Structure 1
Amino acid sequence: MTDMFENHCWQDIIPPEIIELYRPYRRDLYIGPRPALLAIDLYAIAYRGGPRPMKELAATYPDSCGIHAWDAIEPTKAVFAAARKAGIPLFHTTTDSRPEAKPTRIRATNRPIADHDVDLFEFHPDFAPLEGEVVIAKQRASAFFGTPLSSHLVQLGIDTVIVLGESTSGCVRASTVDGFSHGFHMVMAEECCFDRSDISHKINLFDLHHKYADVMHSDEVVAELSRREAGL
């Protein structure tokens, strides 16, 4: 019989005996009555080089997530569409690249970024914000750190934040943990999160699922949001 709580992408790398150690974390997964969607850093830069393995792209496009980013496009489009049809608030994050707002030494991670890279942080055309959707400019990894995101969510009465984007081990993880710390129920759309490394992606999803978030398959998220749209 399939263990639905552990029926996720990490099963091929997390040994059964380790999964058993986390049995006390098992619980019912859900999306609360007042959800919002948080799209983390869906930059065009993450898709550069096309749907190819990272080992083929790393030297030329070190900021790309290669095939992992491209595999997430269709599921992400489906979640975006379901969220918009259901009328739930959408938030998008982007790096704050304004010279007057971002001191030289402030970066989201310790990875060096060349000065010209700020011109590459445009939204992927499939995930560009629509009118009325809020764009959060951030200087660190977390969408909550030093931004008004939490205030927006509180004013809207949001109880659940559905997270997707990149990278699973970086800005997605930091935002998910901070959202949990701010008191929101955090849900991660599994197939809509991605990373440069598939191993890093899977291990971080495993860890977040057991401690800070409900990792749900994207089709489960779509189905639930579709029920909301239908008033069920």
Structure 2
Amino acid sequence: MTGLEDNYAKAYGQKAGFGKKPALVLIDFVQGYFDPECDLYAGVDDTLASALRVREAAHAAELPVILTNVVYHPKAIDGGRFFEKAKPLRYFLAGNPMGAWPEGLEPTENELIISKQYPSAFFGTSLASTLTALGVDHVILTGLTTSGCVRASCVDSMSHGFITTVVREAVGDRHEDPHEANLFDMNAKYADVVSEAEIIAYLQSL
């Protein structure tokens, strides 16, 4: 272990652990990230496959499962500065096929869909109050992208008082460097980053 790694381990080695009543959130798994012709394409088929396995375990444990997407008014009047800054968000105007669910992720009648306009699944949505009303104390995050909406949701989840877990194989990004850097930072300060195998074993134990 290097001096820097030792410093981080000493300062940020605390584990958040798991809660008593978790919920699973799948962040922004939409078609644009899987279509090579789209600006958003990220090559994250393995990420989705992992998230679907975690989702199956969450359903088997009868836990709340929430899917998020980004949807804007056809004239983007609700897009704000985020829409102005990030050009690919044009694919999330209402009705654009790039904002549809990808193959394999058809929502079920027992899943809640939260549509948002900003990076965090919590900002400007009913997610926090819904989870609180359900008695949830622990949020498990999967989704896209690690450095964007996953990270923003992770920080807000912790800030709203939820134990937070990020599933390493079930989050993805367009580039390995921001992906790994943000996993490192989230694990240091805001959440536990755990493997798919570890989170499925936990869900099966409930």
CA drift at 1:65:
0.5
CA drift at 1:97:
2.3
Residues 48 and 143, structure 2, Cα contact 8 Å, conserved in 1: no
Aligned to 2:40: 63
How high is the sequence identity, in percent, across the aligned residues? 34
Residues 71 and 92, structure 2, Cα contact 8 Å, conserved in 1: no
Give me the whole-angstrom Cα distance separating, in 1, the residues matched to 2:166 and 2:34. 21
Alpha-carbon distance change, 102 to 28 in structure 1, aligned in 2, over 3 angstroms? same
Aligned to 1:52: none
Alpha-carbon distance change, 16 to 61 in structure 1, aligned in 2, over 3 angstroms? farther
- 3-state SS of the aligned residue for 2:142? strand
Give me the whole-angstrom Cα distance separating, in 2, the residues matched to 1:164 and 1:114. 20
Unaligned runs of 5+ in 1: 1-14, 50-59
Aligned to 2:65: 90
Alpha-carbon distance change, 17 to 124 in structure 1, aligned in 2, over 3 angstroms? farther
Structure 2 counterpart of 1:34, from 15, 21, 37: 21
Give me the whole-angstrom Cα distance separating, in 1, the residues matched to 2:121 and 2:77. 15
CA drift at 1:124:
1.5
Residues 29 and 48, structure 2, Cα contact 8 Å, conserved in 1: no
Show structure 1 runs of 4+ deviating over 4 A. Answer: 114-117
Structure 1 residue 21 and structure 2 residue 16: aligned?
Answer: no
Aligned to 1:73: 48
Give me the whole-angstrom Cα distance separating, in 2, the residues matched to 1:116 and 1:175. 21
Amino acid at match of 2:35: R
Structure 1 residue 213 and structure 2 residue 188: aligned?
Answer: no
CA drift at 1:81:
0.5
CA drift at 1:21:
1.7
CA drift at 1:204:
0.2
**After superposition, what is the alpha-carbon deviation per residue over 1:87-125, rounded to whole angstroms, capped at 9, x for unaligned?**
000011111223378435453682114756531101112
**After superposition, what is the alpha-carbon deviation per residue over 1:146-205, rounded to whole angstroms, capped at 9, x for unaligned?**
100001011001100000000000000000001111111110000000001111000000
CA drift at 1:74:
2.5
Q: Cα RMSD (Å) of the superposition?
A: 2.0
- 3-state SS of the aligned residue for 1:83? helix
Residues 95 and 138, structure 1, Cα contact 8 Å, conserved in 2: yes
Unaligned runs of 5+ in 2: none
Give me the whole-angstrom Cα distance separating, in 2, the residues matched to 1:109 and 1:87. 40
